[in-house]
Amino acid sequence: MQALTPHVYWAQRHGEIYLRVEISDAQNLNIGVEENILHFRGQGHGAKGENEYEFSLEFLKLVKPEVKHKSTQRQVNITVKKQEHVWWDRLTKQERKPLFLAPDFDRWLDESDAEMELREKEEKINKVSIESRVRKDPYLGLKKGFLFMYNLVQFLGYSWIFVNMTVRLFILGQDSFYDTFHTIADVMYFCQMLAIMEVLNPAVGLVKTGVIPAFIQVMGRNFILFVIFGSLEDMQNKPVVFFVFYLWSTIEIFRYPFYMLACIDTEWKLLTWLRYTIWMPLYPLGVLAEAVAVIQSIPIFDETKLLSIPLPKAIGISLSFSYILQLYLVLMFLGLFINFRHLYKQRRRRFRTKKRKAN
């Protein structure tokens, strides 16, 4: 039987090399490292059908001779430890990449992401070590109960908003755009005022999330709700109110039940996928709708002089609030870029961890 070369995919961390060999139902495996060269030989079903496959890779830098491998029905996973915890520019000593070798994008990280993952692992180990020494929080059940009820109330509030707006849209069509504020505002005021708890909860240690991201999101929404919509009657009948409220509620009817289940250590796979996926189109659309609302409010603030800052009489003018709104627009889109990148990395890490556990 002629030995052929299988498809091999690789990824790295600072301390390890991961190889995925595309051979299913592999048998008679012979895998080892000699003189910094990995040798692989085995039988199984690969790209050329049932056959014997082999390959060799001379690593860019020194690795430890011990090799771990695990064969599954679909592939052979190989782990090789580096001699030094450093990031490699490439896998092989030869500059030209072998034709059978390609990046494993399921496990691929750039250097900064790998450092973040390493820090998370260290923090998790330290957390377990500390928790083993620190006595259990006697109020943990009470805290979880409070968080569960908070998320339940918010879920019910945003569900009412979403269902009410959807029903009115089907019954009234576009006419429902123009009285959204007068129909929905009271419940939205309640939900957004209650959302201030999402800033206080991490501040007092009830949840282990950052205070700043929560503050930016909650205060940004409240600025749109109370200042742009609440203080300007001319804005309250505009269709943009419908789109802002509808996008907010669509995101939250998936986010809050996810947090509710987390309080009771339960996970629904579909809900998890929706919570970490649906924001990708909705978050930019929500920011765009908020930006439209700000732009539409600028001439109204200029005309009414509302919230403008009066300057000395000798100057004879006032500092229009529209200047602050224009600055707010710039910061809004800057925040969109930063938060989208952060949320996307968070999503990638979560699903990569779940896939690794599944394998």
Return the active site residues.
Answer: 283, 290
Containing H/E element for 74? none
Please, what's the b/e burial string for 222-251 (b: 16 or more CB within 10 A of its CB; e: otherwise)? bbbbebbbbbbeebbebebbbbbbbbbbbb
Q: Are 41 and 25 in contact (CB under 8 A)?
A: no
Angle at 279 between CA 118 and CA 267, to 5 degrees: 65
What is the arrangement of strands in the sheet containing 37-46, beginning at the earlier edge strand?
3-4, 49-58, 37-46, 24-34
Taking Cα atoms as reference points, which of 14, 19, 28 lies closest to residue 88? 14
Q: Tell me the three state secondary structure of residue 1.
A: coil
Q: Tell me the three state secondary structure of residue 338.
A: helix
**Alpha carbon of 315 to those of 19, 307, 308, 311, 318: distances in Å?**
71, 18, 15, 7, 8
In whole angstroms, what is the distance from residue 153 CA to residue 161 CA?
Answer: 13
Angle at 195 between CA 332 and CA 162, to 5 degrees: 85
Q: Are 35 and 129 in contact (CB under 8 A)?
A: no
Q: For residue 60, what is the DSSP state?
A: S
In whole angstroms, what is the distance from residue 146 CA to residue 164 CA?
Answer: 27
Q: What is the largest CA-CA distance in the chain?
A: 97
- Partner residues linked to 40 by β-bridges: 31, 55
Q: Are 293 and 223 in contact (CB under 8 A)?
A: no
Sign, CA dihedral 329-335-341-345, equals negative
Taking Cα atoms as reference points, which of 323, 253, 247, 328 lies closest to residue 289? 247
- End-to-end Cα distance, the chain: 30
